[in-house]
Structure 1
Amino acid sequence: MREIKNILVAIDFNETVGDLLSYAEALALKFEAKVWVVHVAEPNPDFVGFEVGPQYVRDVKADELREEHRKLQTICDTFFDESIEREALLIQGSTVETVVEEAKKLQSDLLIVGTHKHSFFHDLFSENVSLELLKKAEIPLLAIPIDED
């Protein structure tokens, strides 16, 4: 069995984040691993080929990113036992590619993601992030089914 020293947890800001982090916490305690909690924010408009716009638009986006990072840090500090080494990362980019790239950079041994239960038609016509991560990640992936009732 592979040694687990770095666990990457990719989260959205929703009510189910605790479910994912409880799995991460249990595994981190068992293996004495570090946990990286990652949230991927939307890329900057100029990154995806749009005009940047006036300065106030950039300032608003910067404020939103700072708030998301504070929220991510609070989640990281709230949900984990203090003995667990952990770090919160907010990264802008395309979700799947960014998570896969970050997992490589951090030398992650395990990737934990939530998987949403949707109808067949929803899955057929939308990007399923956890499925794409399963296809592209080069490390073991733990997909936790989550209900958003």
Structure 2
Amino acid sequence: MKNILLTIDFDNNEIVLIDKAIEIAAVFDAKIWLLHVVAPEPDFVGLDVGPQYIRDTRAEELKRERRLLADYTDVIKLENVSCEGILIQGATIEMILSEAEKLNTDLIIIGRHEHNIMYKAFFGSVASGVIKKSKIPVMIVPVE
């Protein structure tokens, strides 16, 4: 095992996932690819259209997420584990699977959040979607 894709969503449970990924990476001398997928830009938030305050808010949010990703990458490197952070936009499940293939990933680590029935009915679960579609082994880590 040489490449581990660790997905994080900044729901304040990242440390549980990072600790598990470090534990596994250390055993196999593997690299961790720390992935955060952001929602795609809405159609009305382009370069020249839409209210400025929405574009500014979105830019600040992306800047904050890049900073967090860099901080978590540094935390992992302090444990003598090779790590790179990736922030991409798109549909979450598809982006996770696409990046996993591009990076020649041996394992995907993803957190499992408990959601109510209404949430599951409308949105489903990222973890479930990745499990159903992945050809790469997936480790689900409970984060609640």
The answer, yes or no, to whether TM exceeds 0.5 is: yes
Offset of residue 44 of structure 1: 1.5
Equivalent residue number for residue 64 of structure 2? 67
Equivalent residue number for residue 110 of structure 1? 107
Equivalent residue number for residue 8 of structure 2? 11
Q: Does structure 2 conserve the Cα–Cα contact (< 8 Å) formed by 1:25 and 1:81?
A: no
Offset of residue 81 of structure 1: 3.6
2:29 to 29, 32, 36: 32
Q: Secondary structure at the match of 2:12?
A: coil
Give the TM-score, by structure 2 length: 0.87
Most deviating of 123-132 and 133-142: 123-132
CA RMSD between the two structures: 1.9
Overall identity of the aligned pairs, in %: 38
**Structure 1 unaligned spans of 5+:** none
**Structure 2 unaligned spans of 5+:** none
Most deviating of 25-34 and 64-73: 64-73
CA distance in 1, matches of 2:58, 2:115: 30
Amino acid of the residue matched to residue 9 of structure 1?
Answer: L
Give the TM-score, by structure 1 length: 0.85
